[in-house]
Each structure stands twice: as C-alpha cells, then as structure tokens.
Amino acid sequence: MHLKESNGFIGLYTERPYKKGELLFELRGPIKADATSTSIQISKAKHIEDAYTQYINHHCTPSAKIVGRKVMAQHDLKPNDEITFDKNIMADELQKPFVCKCCGKLLRGKKYPAT
Ligand SMILES: [Zn+2]
C-alpha cells in the first residue's frame, strides 16, 4: 500500500494486483467506543483508528470492503488502483458528513437517508 495525492486528495493505492476477496491489509489501530472524524466504524460502538484510516476514501462503488480489521478487495484490482470503501454503509452516523464525489449526495451515515 502507498499513499498518493490525486486532485488534491490523498488516497491509499495498491502496489500489486489483487484478486477479488483477497486481503489487502489489516487495520492495526486501537478499537474505541466513540467515533472520531478519521475512524472507521466496524460494528456497533466499535471504531478503529490507525495510520491509514484517514486516507481510505469513500466511494459508492468501492474497490474494497472492511470486515472487522480486514480490508479486502471487492473486485480484482490492478497495481496503483485506489483503495476505497463505502463509508456510508459502515457508519451509523458520520462525524464529518460530506458530499460524495461520485453521486453528489450528502452522506451522513446509514441512520440518515442520502439526499
Ligand atoms: Zn456516491
């Protein structure tokens, strides 16, 4: 994995090809009960924050999915593909609501319908 800037946004990118379902890496940070603006919610009242979580960008058709600590390829990936996940279906309530770059909707977490 490596970080790269694209259009003013830093994102996380692959180094090599991955097959669908393959483990990309594991999140290693502490699990906390409360969300922060850069944590990822992995289950009810469990939020992980580590060196990478703030750089895994949202996409509505993401390249990866996060199950527990595992970040896995959602489909086959090429080297230098951005690793993205669906923040909106992971989080009950986003600490930092944002307008999605792919669909233009305001996303606030799964408690709220996207508008
Ligand atoms: Zn979108």
pLDDT digits (tens, 9 = 90+) for 39-71: 999 999 999 999 999 999 999 999 999 999 999
What's residue 114's pLDDT?
Answer: 73
What's residue 115's pLDDT?
Answer: 75
| Domain extents in the chain | 2-87
Which segments in the chain show pLDDT lower than 70? Answer: none
What's residue 85's pLDDT?
Answer: 96
- Say how many Å lie between the CA of residue 105 and the centre of ligand 1: 6
- Say how many Å lie between the CA of residue 52 and the centre of ligand 1: 21
- Say how many Å lie between the CA of residue 87 and the centre of ligand 1: 10
- Say how many Å lie between the CA of residue 91 and the centre of ligand 1: 15
| Cβ(82)–Cβ(57) below 8 Å | yes
- Say how many Å lie between the CA of residue 79 and the centre of ligand 1: 23
Architecture of 2-87 per CATH?
A: Beta Complex (2.170)
What's residue 52's pLDDT?
Answer: 93
What's residue 29's pLDDT?
Answer: 92
- Say how many Å lie between the CA of residue 102 and the centre of ligand 1: 4
Pairing outcome for strands 57-58 and 84-85: parallel
